[in-house]
Amino acid sequence: MNQGGIKKFLDDFQNKRERTIVIVDFGNVEKWKYGLGWRMGVRELASLVKHFTCGKRFLRRFYYGADYGPDEKSTTLTDWSKYMLRTADLNGFEVIDKQVKYIHSLDNVHGFEKKCDLDVEMAVDLIRERGNYDNIVLFSGDGDLVTALKYLNDEYDKKAIVMSARGHIGREIIDARRDGVVSEILYADDFEYRLNMDRFRKNR
């Protein structure tokens, strides 16, 4: 989508912002940097999200793992995890976290892999909060939420937009767009200009 198309899309979306929920699967968003060539950090994300929703904090939902390290008995977050979750909170997100699991793996140089899947939490929240929104903007290229999006569209006429990065979009999302479950697929690649413009305005 070119800049003129993005501007028109966002202008047309203005009157929907009060009734839009944003779901950010940040574990997925973090991986976009490999395709984008630039990092979509929490602050950049917050700047982008403001174009899609306004007002109620609980409609700007940020899902991310809480990492306490490999010791299962630890009650102290790692510095990085504490920083990320606090930054999301300070940037106006409702933060939903779950403890990261360390799973032994012979294939990993560190001897373990980290895993934290919040798909169930996202799906439950979408269903539970359905009375508070008409539109969904999902920041993730993962297709695991397509079943929930289809249910919400079929039963409650909720409209979904997916924001991802090129090369990070699941086949399920593309099929959902074809089937009308997802009304639009947007690419973060196309919004870099918009983010740079927002930074310029803040620094003036």
Tens-digit pLDDT profile for residues 10-28: 889 999 999 999 999 999 9
Question: How far is 190 from 65, CA to CA, in rounded Å?
Answer: 27
d(CA 110, CA 106) in angstroms, rounded, equals 9
**pLDDT above 80: residue 194:** no
H or E stretch including 66? strand 60-66
Domain regions of the chain by residue span: 3-203
Q: CB of 67 within 8 A of CB of 100?
A: yes
- Band (pLDDT 50/70/90 cuts) for residue 200 is very low
pLDDT, mean over the chain: 89
Q: What does the pLDDT average to over 167-173?
A: 92
Percent of the chain beyond pLDDT 90?
A: 63
pLDDT at 5 over 90: no
Nearest CA to 115 among 14, 176, 17, 27?
A: 27
SS3 content of the chain, % helix, strand, coil (to 5): 50, 20, 30
Average pLDDT over residues 49-57: 89
Percent of residues, the chain, with pLDDT higher than 70 = 89
Specify the range with the lowest mean pLDDT, choosing from 2-6, 104-108, 189-193. 104-108
Q: How far apart are CA 176 and CA 190, in angstroms?
A: 21
| Amino acid type, 189 | D
Q: Other CB atoms closer than 10 Å to residue 154's CB: what's the count?
A: 10
Highest mean pLDDT among 112-116, 120-124, 188-192: 120-124
- Topology adopted by domain 3-203: Rossmann fold (3.40.50)
Q: Say if residue 198's pLDDT is above 70.
A: no
Residues 6+ away with beta carbon under 8 Å from 123: 145, 147, 148
Find the helix or strand (DSSP H, E) in which 192 lies: helix 192-203
